[in-house]
Every structure is written in structure tokens, then in C-alpha cells.
Amino acid sequence: TPVHQSERGHLHAAAVTTLLAEGRAYWCSCTSDEVKARAEARGGTPGYDGHCRDRGLGPGAGHVVRFRVPDTGSTAFDDLIRGHVSFENANLEDFVIQRSNGSPMFHLANAVDDAEQGITHVIRGEDLINVTPKVLLLREALRTPGELIFAHLPLIVNEKRQKLSKRRDDVSVGDYIDRGYLPEAMVNYLATLGWGPSDGIEIRPLAEIVAMFDVADVGRSGAFFDVKKLQHFNGEYIRALSVPQFVTRSTRWLFEEAPWPPDRFDVATFEVLAPLVQERVKLLSEVPGYVDFVFAEEPTIDEDSWQKVMVKGADLAAAVLDHAIAGFTDCDWTTAGLDVALFSYADTHGVAKGKVQAPVRVAVTGRTVGPPLFESLEVLGREETLRRLRSARARL
């Protein structure tokens, strides 16, 4: 059942009342400017100086409630990741537990709510480690039974080793789903941030990860969110799908966000190309770019590809297209037949097969990268292939 802090104000207020009654907290009228000014005047460490500790103030406009931190001793805990952590009480200021509007500070609500719910383990980011002594002091003052087990996780950082920020970095899971990341790949990758299985095999079923994971094995250093590595994980998960699963998982990008009219898409045709595409994409959003040449009325010509293959290599491109048009007119319309018809040019003229393929691929698909060429031509069909080859030849 979800717990909303806003609905638990009576519990927080009761805790403050108890602390005030027992002298573990007090009212304070100091403004932030006054606290800052006194700190600057004394030239010491910034922070509250206990100015209102013994003034005996009560509620009033602008008054907050502060916790009376012990002057001596230390507050310590054992962290599953960081070991023994200790804070000298003398270095902790009397911290605010209730704002002037009556609302609780995070550490008070944290201490009260965790106790009321019977929380035993606190697993959170290392940026909250300084909150922990405050929570422990409050639990002790409120005579909360039991001990908490803490694990402060390393923060996730970007390529500049800065903490991931929702204002600066891509942190929305929904955005990653929109780009074609599989949920299971994302979960697997996130599990490896700051932790790794002892055998070094990172890509594995969730059940195995759960069985092997121990929060005590998480490292202390910041965990780099490596998008390239995430894409690698995603590509591996895509290739692990059965062809029917791949077709189903690609549906959104083949219909809702496809660059061709809906009536031109044919599932049976895509199913033929699917295994070839599946071996090459890292994101499901890349799928349309590998098959649009089949379903679009005209291929979208990538100008960089055209310049590289058809302009800079115009003489070879013209010769290859002429050869392909002649050879494809009456060859067997199979992968093997197309291979023989086109590569006879390479064999005769001593030209690398990749250079011979390039003009045909650009003419038919619009780009230099895609599924295997001859399988693509077989699906596209003789008539449409020849039409595109002739159109490209006329443009040279």
C-alpha cells in the first residue's frame, strides 16, 4: 500500500511534541540570514551555532523546531557497502526537524515513518549518507526499538563523471522504451551498475541475477551509465528473441511510427526480412530504417551515401549499374542467382565485391548499410529492382 508523507502529519507532529517535552528539541527564531551572518562574523565553520538552545522560546511566527544534538560522543553505524561510518556529534549542528509552517523535515519524517512501518533495511544513494546520523539520533531520542541495516549505494554518473541529473541527462525510462530498448535489457544493464556477477558474465536471465546479487558486493565508486554498453546489452537481447517475438516487439515502429503509408506494409514480407534485420539492430527504433526500401514507394536517398558511391565513384557506379541491369534482367531471381549475376563483374574486372555491391545497394535502398543485399533484392522483386537501378543510372 502506498504511503504518503502528507497523510502522516499527525505522527510527525506527535514526535516533535515528545522531543520538545523531553528537552531533546527546542524552538528557534533564527532566520537563515542571521545564521549565515553569525557564522561569517565568527569566521568558523558555516552552520547553526545553537543561538536559541537555552532561550526557552515557544511557537511563533517564523519559528522552527531544532533537535538538540549531544555535545559529546559520536553517532555511528555499519554500512553494508562502506563499512563502519562514524560522525562526531560535535561536528553536527542542531538541525531543523520542523519548518516554520509546521511541516516535517525529511529526516524526521524518515525516522518516524520507517519506525511505524517496521522498516529493517535502508538502501539509498550515498548522497544521503549525511542524513543517516540525524535519523539515528532521532530514533534514539524517540526510543525506537531495533536497529536499521544501511547500504549507501554509489551514485550513477554520466560520461563526465557527474551525477545523473534529470535536467541535464536522459534519465526517463519511458524515453528509453520509446527509442526501442527492451525492458529486460534495461533491467539487466541497471543491475550491473556498481555490481557484477563473480563469473564475469553480465548478460544473463533476471532469475540468475536475483540469485547471485548481494548488496554487500556493490562497489563504492560511482557507476558510469554507459549508453553504448546499454545498446550492446539491448542488441544481445534483441538477437535472443525468436523471430515471431521480434516481429511482435517491432510492431510499434512498423505501424505507429513507420515512415511509409500503413497500407504498403506487409507482415509476410517483413517476416522474411526479420531474421536479417534482427542480427543487425541494437534498438527496435532502427528496424524501419532497414526495411523502408521495401515498403516505401521510393527509397529515401541518403545524400552522403550517394556522394560517396555514386559521385566520387561515378565511373565504377555507372559500369556496375549497367552490368547489374543486364544481368538481373534474366537471371534466376534467387539469392544465389543474383550473387552470380552481379559478382561476375568483380571476377572479370578484378574489383572488390564490396565496391561492386555499393552502387546497387545505394540505388535500391538509398544507403550503404542494410540487410544482406541479395536477400533484399529477392524480396523486393525483379521489376522494382530493375526500375530503381535504371532510375539511379539515369541520375548519374
One domain for residues 362 and 315? yes
- On the 0-12 / 13-18 / 19+ scale of CB atoms within 10 A, 67 is buried
Other beta carbons within 10 Å of 180: 21
One domain for residues 333 and 274? no
One domain for residues 322 and 382? yes
One domain for residues 221 and 141? no
Q: What is the pLDDT, as a whole number, of residue 189? A: 98
Model confidence at 1, pLDDT cuts 50, 70, 90, reads confident
- Write the pLDDT tens digit of every residue in 261-307: 888 999 999 999 999 999 999 999 999 999 999 999 889 999 999 99
Domain boundary among 124, 153, 182: 153
Residues 162, 232: Cα–Cα separation, whole Å:
23
What H or E segment, with its residue span, contains residue 310? none
With a cut of 90, say whether residue 44 has pLDDT above it: no
Q: What is the pLDDT, as a whole number, of residue 262? A: 87
Q: Which residue has the cell 542494410?
A: 370
Q: Which residue has the higher pLDDT, 152 or 166?
A: 152
User: The sheet that has 149-153: what strands, in order across it?
Assistant: 83-88, 74-79, 149-153, 121-125
Can you give the CATH number for the domain in which 358 is found? 1.10.10.350
Nearest of 285, 278, 280 to residue 251 by alpha carbon = 285
Give me the active site residues, please.
166
The helix-helix angle for 287-295 and 373-380 (nearest 10°) equals 40
Model confidence at 38, pLDDT cuts 50, 70, 90, reads very high
One domain for residues 126 and 223? no
Instruction: Answer whether residue 34 is part of any domain.
Output: yes
CB contact burial 151-170 (16+ within 10 A = b; e otherwise): bbbbbbbbeeeeeeeeeebe
Instruction: Answer whether residue 277 is part of any domain.
Output: yes
Give me 246's grid cell.
Answer: 521480434
Instruction: Answer whether residue 195 is part of any domain.
Output: yes
Can you give the CATH number for the domain in which 181 is found? 1.10.1160.10
One domain for residues 32 and 122? yes
By DSSP bridging, strand 96-98 and strand 25-28 are unpaired
Instruction: Answer whether residue 9 is part of any domain.
Output: yes
Instruction: Answer whether residue 75 is part of any domain.
Output: yes
Task: Give the mean model confidence (pLDDT) for residues 314-321.
Answer: 98
Residues 37, 53: Cα–Cα separation, whole Å:
18
Give me 120's grid cell.
Answer: 529493517
Model confidence at 170, pLDDT cuts 50, 70, 90, reads confident
With a cut of 90, say whether residue 101 has pLDDT above it: yes
One domain for residues 252 and 361? no
Nearest of 180, 376, 363 to residue 270 by alpha carbon = 376
Q: Which residue has the higher pLDDT, 239 or 165?
A: 239
One domain for residues 125 and 18? yes
Task: Give the mean model confidence (pLDDT) for residues 36-56.
Answer: 91
Q: What is the pLDDT, as a whole number, of residue 349? A: 96
Q: Which residue has the higher pLDDT, 27 or 7?
A: 27
Handedness of CA 25, 33, 47, 163 (dihedral sign): positive
| 206 residue type, one letter | L
- Write the pLDDT tens digit of every residue in 77-99: 999 999 999 999 999 999 999 99
- Write the pLDDT tens digit of every residue in 11-20: 999 999 999 9
Instruction: Answer whether residue 163 is part of any domain.
Output: no
One domain for residues 89 and 26? yes
Whether residue 109 contacts residue 5, with contact meaning beta carbons closer than 8 Å, is answered with yes
Other beta carbons within 10 Å of 325: 17
- Write the pLDDT tens digit of every residue in 326-379: 999 999 999 999 999 999 999 999 999 999 999 999 999 999 999 999 999 999
Model confidence at 169, pLDDT cuts 50, 70, 90, reads confident
Q: What is the mean pLDDT of the chain?
A: 95
Can you give the CATH number for the domain in which 69 is found? 3.40.50.620
Domain boundary among 265, 295, 325: 295
Contacts of 93 (CB under 8 A, 6+ apart): 47, 48, 49, 50, 69
- Write the pLDDT tens digit of every residue in 121-137: 999 999 999 999 999 99
Instruction: Answer whether residue 36 is part of any domain.
Output: yes
Q: Look at the chain and report how many structural domains it folds into.
A: 4
Handedness of CA 50, 53, 54, 60 (dihedral sign): positive
One domain for residues 273 and 207? no
Instruction: Answer whether residue 160 is part of any domain.
Output: no
Model confidence at 165, pLDDT cuts 50, 70, 90, reads confident
Its domain, for residue 378, covers 303-395
Task: Give the mean model confidence (pLDDT) for residues 65-84.
Answer: 98
Residues 216, 27: Cα–Cα separation, whole Å:
41
One domain for residues 325 and 381? yes
One domain for residues 42 and 22? yes
